[in-house]
Amino acid sequence: MERMTITGDVSIAYGALMSGVAVSTSYPGSPSSGTIEYLATLAKKHGLHVEWSTNEKVAFETAVGASIGGVPALMGCKGVGFNVALDPMMVANLTDVGAGLVILLGDDPGAWASQNDQDTRPIAWGAELPMLEPATPSEGIEMTRYAFQLSQDMQMPVIVRITKSFGAMKEVVNLPDIPITSRVTPHLFERHVMRWISLPKNAVQRHHRLHGRIDAISSNYETSSFNKVTGVGAYGIIAAGMIFTKLMDVLADVDLSEVSILKLGTIWPLPAKTITDFLQSVEQVLILEENEPFLETLIKSMAYDAGLRTPVHGKHDQLVNREGELFRWQIAEALPKFWPGYSPAHMFSPEEEQKVMPSEAGLPENCPYTPVFQILNELSESSGLSPVYVVDPGCAIKINTPPFEILDIKYSMGSSIGIASGLVLAGVTDPVIAVVGDSDFFHLGVNALFNVAHQGSNLLVIILDNSTTALSGFQPSPNLGGSELGHVTTSLSIEQIVQACPVTFAESIDPWDTTAARDILKAALTRSGVRVVISRSPCPYIESGFCPGYKSDESDTIEILSS
């Protein structure tokens, strides 16, 4: 037994290790990458396979295959990555999963490192996948272990949802020794007729079975230690996961004799009896959650079904903000509107919880992207052209800041080439330039390139290869070979993939060789058809793992000292 300080990210990794996880897959994205990176440090010692997959769909498919093959598997993704993996998930909920499969879902309330302010809980609810949310690192360990066991028992993928604030939280815990055993042993595939096959002839039957499993999980949640009621006051507060921890920070040293608090750790399916009993025990309820009124809507529905008229407050009546991260100062502001007797023992202000978004900083010194856009700007000005820039997520989004301020359109990973092609089809006569990073290209951009090469278009695709996934934490991209996360990988050639497509122009440049780069970019800018330019120069900050202009966020770090 070792006593040590761990973060929320690390707690999920330890819970997975204690559950015998043998395969862990992910695509880089905050929050969730921290768990995968920590598992990678233990891969050799514990015999794990840990990989950065080319995208989240492939990561999920690899993990579900490992689970079907007989070993527990963990798949990590952020909210927008969950969207990418949703297609196979909507089959995995109908079939069995084998040894156990847990999805680590990192939501990003406030869009600190995402292109949207997405709440993935309603999507997971629509996918009919059970979901848990830990409040502290110690609970993260136990909840992950429980999730693996639940997945194996119910033969379903189980989601453990975290947020950026949870990942940064610190707690002193007692970690048991994890035995070093062989996690993967060669064996023949164990076949079962129709167990892992979903077809029109059995899909509805399997859907009915899924509902039975969800009902069983809901009954199981009724006795879960992850749900806990404290206090017997007339004012009821329901808070889940990390928001419960924030709430208890706000209520530190406050007289709680008038309040009753229900901490929820089982997010879906909700434990109906636990919740309705709580509603009956109080005069009114405030529901604290981030983003959408997910819990609030479901709990109001439960109250209606139970014939209860307990007033339920939250986002619908605007006691709590609906968009972005829910900060402690916002909780402190909401409480007196609901509970007149609330008197804060500590003051919370917006300044305490301010954060810096990476996209707000411009391209740093020595960034290999800078000369590319400087040359394009100069060529455009001298030719009287006004290119439309469509950019994938990544460092190139920083061209929306000075001195460039030329970014026109930015959606999601892999979207720039398709959107650029749509602009051309719509009759846009300005030069259309789609900008893709190397990791973006392998993630989903390559599929869009296949489409425009096949359909034909008139646009310029610039692939910026800086040999890393910088905005997500400097993870390697598939064009690199060598040792990665404890095992050897094979490099993939962007040039060979592009050359396999019927494009009209394909060249590579060194952005720092400005004379040669200018000639190639000028030709690419003025020709017609699908043109591709690959700009290759490594990011100078790979070694340090820190890009100037980015600010390390400690403002959301909570330290809990466990007994």
Give yes or no: residues 471 and 410 share one domain.
yes
* CATH classification at residue 490: 3.40.50.970
Residue type, 452: V
C-alpha 531: how far from chain center: 33
Give yes or no: residues 92 and 137 share one domain.
yes
Q: 28 pLDDT band (50/70/90 cuts)?
A: confident
For the segment 533-557, the average pLDDT, to the nearest whole number, is: 71
Q: How many CB atoms lie within 10 A of CB 372?
A: 23
Give yes or no: residues 69 and 217 share one domain.
yes
- With a cut of 50, say whether residue 562 has pLDDT above it: no
Of the listed ranges 328-337, 510-519, 548-557, the least confidently predicted one is: 548-557
- With a cut of 90, say whether residue 486 has pLDDT above it: no
- With a cut of 70, say whether residue 350 has pLDDT above it: yes
Euclidean distance between CA atoms 84 and 359, whole angstroms: 22
- For residue range 40-72, list pLDDT tens digits in order: 999 888 989 999 998 999 999 999 999 999 999
Give yes or no: residues 209 and 261 share one domain.
no
Output the six-digit token pair for 497. 């993939």
For the segment 178-196, the average pLDDT, to the nearest whole number, is: 86
For the segment 325-332, the average pLDDT, to the nearest whole number, is: 92
Query: What would you measure as the largest C-alpha separation in the chain, in angstroms?
Result: 76
Give yes or no: residues 327 and 443 share one domain.
no
Q: 324 pLDDT band (50/70/90 cuts)?
A: confident
Whole-number pLDDT of residue 196: 82
- Whether the Cβ atoms of residue 311 and residue 340 lie closer than 8 Å to each other: no
Per the structure, the complete domain to which residue 212 belongs is given by 2-221
For the segment 316-342, the average pLDDT, to the nearest whole number, is: 92
Indicate the length of the chain as a whole number. Answer: 563
Give yes or no: residues 116 and 194 share one domain.
yes
Q: 481 pLDDT band (50/70/90 cuts)?
A: low
Cβ-count burial 12-33 (b if 16+ within 10 Å, e if not) = bbbbbbbbbbbbbbbbbbbbbb
Output the six-digit token pair for 442. 């392998």
Give yes or no: residues 256 and 375 share one domain.
no
- For residue range 190-227, list pLDDT tens digits in order: 889 889 888 889 999 999 999 999 999 999 999 999 99
Of the listed ranges 44-48, 135-139, 479-483, 533-537, the least confidently predicted one is: 479-483
- Give the total number of structural domains in the chain: 3
In-domain check, residue 542: no
* CATH classification at residue 339: 3.40.50.920
- With a cut of 80, say whether residue 7 has pLDDT above it: yes
- With a cut of 70, say whether residue 550 has pLDDT above it: no
Whole-number pLDDT of residue 178: 86
Q: Which of 295, 312, 346 is the last residue of a domain?
A: 346
Whole-number pLDDT of residue 552: 44
Q: What does the CA dihedral 324, 329, 333, 335 come to, rounded to 10 degrees?
A: 100
Nearest to 277 by CA among 299, 246, 249, 253: 299
Euclidean distance between CA atoms 49 and 183, whole angstroms: 10
Mean pLDDT of the chain: 90
Whole-number pLDDT of residue 399: 87
In-domain check, residue 541: no
Helices marked H in 384-543: 416-425, 438-440, 446-455, 494-499, 514-526
- The residue with greater pLDDT, 346 or 271, is 271
In-domain check, residue 400: yes
Q: 109 pLDDT band (50/70/90 cuts)?
A: confident
Euclidean distance between CA atoms 360 and 80, whole angstroms: 20
C-alpha 558: how far from chain center: 21
Q: 369 pLDDT band (50/70/90 cuts)?
A: very high
3-state helix, strand, coil in the chain (%, to 5): 40, 20, 40
In-domain check, residue 548: no
Nearest to 412 by CA among 388, 367, 448: 448
Give yes or no: residues 370 and 505 share one domain.
yes
In-domain check, residue 317: yes
In-domain check, residue 356: no
- With a cut of 60, say whether residue 125 has pLDDT above it: yes
C-alpha 352: how far from chain center: 25
Q: Which of 221, 254, 284 is the last residue of a domain?
A: 221
- For residue range 488-506, list pLDDT tens digits in order: 888 889 999 999 999 999 9
- Whether the Cβ atoms of residue 200 and residue 184 lie closer than 8 Å to each other: no
The neighbouring-strand residues paired with 239 are 263, 288
Give yes or no: residues 177 and 282 share one domain.
no
In-domain check, residue 193: yes
- With a cut of 90, say whether residue 289 has pLDDT above it: yes
Give yes or no: residues 246 and 393 share one domain.
no
Give yes or no: residues 303 and 393 share one domain.
no
Nearest to 290 by CA among 171, 169, 170, 162: 162
Q: Which string of DSSP letters, residue by residue, matches 175-206?
A: EPP---------------TTTT---TTTHHHH
Whole-number pLDDT of residue 113: 73
- With a cut of 50, say whether residue 144 has pLDDT above it: yes
- Whether the Cβ atoms of residue 500 and residue 330 lie closer than 8 Å to each other: no
Q: Which of 221, 240, 256 is the last residue of a domain?
A: 221
Residue type, 159: I
pTM of the model: 0.89
For the segment 388-408, the average pLDDT, to the nearest whole number, is: 89
Give yes or no: residues 61 and 190 share one domain.
yes
Whole-number pLDDT of residue 296: 97
In-domain check, residue 108: yes
